[in-house]
Amino acid sequence: MNKIPLFALAISIFLYSKIFTKMPKDFVVAPKTSFQKEDSNLILQIEFDEKYKNGTIVIKKKPIFSERWELLDTLLKGMTFFFDTLPINSLSEFGFHCSVDSLDSFGYFLIGEKSSVETYLGNVLIIVDSTIFDGIQPQLKEFVEDLENEGWFVELRKSPRAENFNPIEIRKVKRIVNSYKRNWKEKFKVLLLVGRVPVPYTGNYTFDGHSDHFGAFPSDLFYVIDDSLLTDEVEYNTTAERQENWNLPFDGKFDQTTIPGKISCAVGRIDFSNLTAFKESEVNLIRKYFEKNHNFRLGKNSNNNGIIDDGFGNQSPEMFSANAYMNFYALADTIVEGKLFENISQRYFRYAYACNSGSYTSIWSSINSEQCASSNIQTTFLFLFGSYNWDWDTENNLLRSALASSPDVLITAWIGRPFWHLHHFAFGFPFCFSFISTANNHELYQSTGKYGYKGMHLEVMGDPTLRENYPEPVDVFRGEIDNNRIVKLIWGTPKDTNNLLGYQILKKELGKTEFTPIANISKHSSSFTDTNTQKGIWIYQIKAMYLRTNKFGSYLNPSIGQRTEIEIK
């Protein structure tokens, strides 16, 4: 791959931008959809922009979990409408490729109805830096309960702390993860690292093209990749400015720049060490992160808008911000274009993106780490693309500083090399699903991007179990038991009943891993009686079920579960 510094405006790129007047959003197919129900089917109409009427529109389709597209149709000159029939209460994944003149545009979207919810989402391993473990116990306890109430099975483990690169301590953590991979197998969906868990390094590359940090880079993906696919005997490079980026044979930094094989487990990190721009301690910042995580799951933020701050425009044929337009068109109700900090410091946006020349701690004219430390940063999912940002294991790194900010940021990621594909996230799937799809993508999803596919540098700062939206849970939930061992459950109606469909009641015996649904209740009810009871300690859970609509259909959106414990003698 050619090394192209993100800040460089070489003569060829300058001339390119003068000659080629198309902007990044022109490379994103943004169709309009409408549905009409007919018996047990949805009649889908897709309308494309008039600018494609003199070109060619290729339409393909696949089941969500498939890796093979089916070609549906090729619309020729003059055609901008397409019709399809979908089974009612079903989702399909569509891909669009539009060609007109010298312009190729892409788009990937889920379309249809998702009318079921998963009561079990998978297993999560949380590994916590042992030096902060005791100091965040209340927040960890609440976080684990939140995950369990959403449908995850969770286990906590401690790890050694390592301020600097330490291959011995890295191996200790790898052994912990390996043991869970063997036991959990395909159920292992998310690894979350909290605190200064040892940072692995791998590869010999620079994903932004700057030679002064060409070499190894931080990569938590190392922890979920089989040992048999990793080597440490080939790469030799000591040219980088930071010694952390050097890579030598048998130094504990691995050779792999690209992901060998495929991953099936997402990795996230909440690490606020060495953030000297913040007045608060590392432990307090982690406490605050879990507090804002909990508040988000309670449906505190209703705004569903996005903001894009594009500092590159069409200076490169990669059209970096096209990645944000593609994702935000699926995710956001509206997209605002403007300066990032000036906007998110004044009002809330659920999704935000900025790209421009960068450093370890800043994106020029968009945002910097000092602003994250001193101002309100009002966005939940923040995606950035600037030079050096992706090398996150540095003092006051921008990705980690933004995550540590108050009051809203819960996920940050460096997107653009490669393009990320978040359209699954728009239909209520956890972020980890989109992360895994992006990490494994090579040819399934095309884009204007050229570099970084399957890169070991792919990283999520924050919690990958999150969904894009959480409705409000029930107000109160309690249980009563009478002398006949009949359990009566009582709850208060959520304050916001817009699009409320009803409630789902689940239960499990204490010590079991998964809840079992036992009833679906009308939205007009505020109680339920369980006559099918047995001796033991039982945990009951209730989820408020909402219908959430977007540009491409609708899905059943459960609140986080509320629980109550009943002992039956």
Q: Is the pLDDT reported for residue 182 higher than 50?
A: yes
Percentage of the chain exceeding pLDDT 90: 89
Q: What is the pTM of this model?
A: 0.95
pLDDT in tens, 152-168: 999 999 999 999 999 99
Once rounded to an integer, what is the mean pLDDT over residues 211-223?
96
What is the rounded average pLDDT of the residues 386-391?
A: 96
Give dist(CA 106, CA 57) in Å, integer: 10
Q: How many CB atoms lie within 10 A of CB 202?
A: 25
pLDDT tier at 559, thresholds 50, 70, 90: very high
The predicted model gives 456-467 an average pLDDT of: 97
Does the pLDDT value for residue 509 go beyond 90?
A: yes
Q: Is the pLDDT score of 19 beyond 50? A: no
Query: 120 with 114: CB under 8 angstroms?
Result: no
pLDDT at 245 over 80: yes
pLDDT in tens, 44-100: 999 999 999 999 999 999 999 899 999 999 998 889 999 999 999 999 999 999 999
Torsion of CA 275, 3, 357, 307, to 10 degrees: -90
Which residue, chain included where needed, has tokens 């995950």? 147
- Across residues 316-321, what is the average pLDDT? 93
Q: What is the mean pLDDT of residues 311-315?
A: 93
pLDDT of residue 10 exceeding 50, the answer is: no
Residue 11 — very low, low, confident or very high, per pLDDT cuts 50/70/90? very low
pLDDT digits (tens, 9 = 90+) for 255-285: 999 999 999 999 999 999 999 999 999 999 9
In this predicted structure, the answer to whether residue 102 has a pLDDT above a threshold of 80 is yes
Mean confidence (pLDDT) of the chain: 94
3-state secondary structure of 286: helix
Quote the longest CA-to-CA distance of the chain. 84
CB-neighbour burial class of residue 160 (10 A; exposed 0-12, middle 13-18, buried 19+): middle
In one-letter notation, the amino acid at residue 173 is V
Of 226, 253, 236, nearest to 170 by C-alpha is 253
Residue 508 has a pLDDT of 94
Question: Strands 349-355, 306-310: parallel, antiparallel or unpaired by DSSP?
Answer: parallel
Nearest CA among 384, 340, 322, 435 for reference residue 30: 322
CA-nearest of 514, 497, 260, 363 to 7 is 363
pLDDT of res. 323:
97
CA dist 237 and 216 (Å) reads: 8
The amino acid occupying position 485 is R
pLDDT category, 300, cuts 50, 70, 90?
confident
In whole angstroms, give the CA distance from residue 130 to residue 353: 34
CB contact burial 208-235 (16+ within 10 A = b; e otherwise):
bbbeebbbbbbbbbbbbbeeeebebeeb
Strands (E), 257-312: 266-270, 306-310
Side chain identity at residue 520, one-letter code: N
CA pair distance 227, 206, nearest whole angstrom? 24
Q: Does residue 530 carry a pLDDT above 60?
A: yes
Region 483-508: mean pLDDT is 94
Average pLDDT rounded to a whole number, residues 498-515? 93
Full 3-state SS string of 185-198 = HHHEEEEEEECCCC
Mean pLDDT of 337-344: 98
**What was the pLDDT predicted at 16?**
45
Go through the chain and tell me how many residues it has: 569
Mean pLDDT of 278-298: 97
Q: 551 φ, ψ to 5°?
A: -65, -20
Residue 35, pLDDT score: 92
Tokens found for residue 92: 């399909």
Query: What dihedral angle (degrees, nearest 10) is formed by the CA atoms of 353, 358, 363, 365?
Result: -120
Task: State how far Cα 521 lies from the chain centre.
Answer: 31
What's residue 40's pLDDT? Answer: 87
Place of tokens 């989702």: 91
pLDDT for position 20: 56
